[in-house]
Amino acid sequence: MNHPICRITSVQNCAPYTLNLSFDDGLTRTIDFEPILEGELFGPLRDPALFAKVSIDPEIHTVVWPSGADFDPATLHDWPQHEAGFHAAAKRWKQSMEPLISKRA
């Protein structure tokens, strides 16, 4: 099976939780990450100061954050094919946490 290797060449914050990404094949994509920022890995990125610390890892050529969060560059390249799955996963995680949050209140 042949999988293309995608590399992100630039990243720019263009709105809250939204990145403009450029890829080595010339594609540019603007992605709003806000709906998927749930869970242990991506939830901390709801902090605007942390989200703004996005950078490109020089070795794997994808976006990374100091918290350890990152995304597969091929997933971001083909975001329209993966977006619904990320939305569903974030929703499931949020729903699974609701009973725990209710107990604390």
- Residue 37 is predicted with a pLDDT of 96
| Domain range for 74 | 8-104
Q: Is residue 50 part of a domain?
A: yes
In this model, does residue 58 exceed pLDDT 70? yes
Q: Is residue 78 part of a domain?
A: yes
Q: Is residue 1 part of a domain?
A: no
Q: Is residue 3 part of a domain?
A: no
Count of domains for the chain: 1
Retrieve residue 84's tokens.
Answer: 């619904």
User: What SS3 class is residue 63?
Assistant: strand
pLDDT band at 26 (very low <50, low <70, confident <90, very high): very high
| Strand 28-32 with 55-56, pairing | unpaired
Where are the extended beta strands (E) located within the chain? 8-15, 18-23, 28-32, 55-56, 63-64
Q: Is residue 82 part of a domain?
A: yes
SS percent in the chain: helix, strand, coil, step 5:
45, 25, 35
Mean pLDDT of 67-80: 96
Write the CATH number for 76: 3.30.2020.10
Question: In the sheet that 8-15 helps form, which strands lie side by side, from edge to edge?
Answer: 8-15, 18-23, 28-32
**Residues 6 or more apart in contact with residue 95 via CB below 8 angstroms:** none
Mean pLDDT of 9-38: 96
Q: Is residue 2 part of a domain?
A: no
The percent of residues above 90 in pLDDT, for the chain, comes to 77
Question: Model-level pTM?
Answer: 0.86
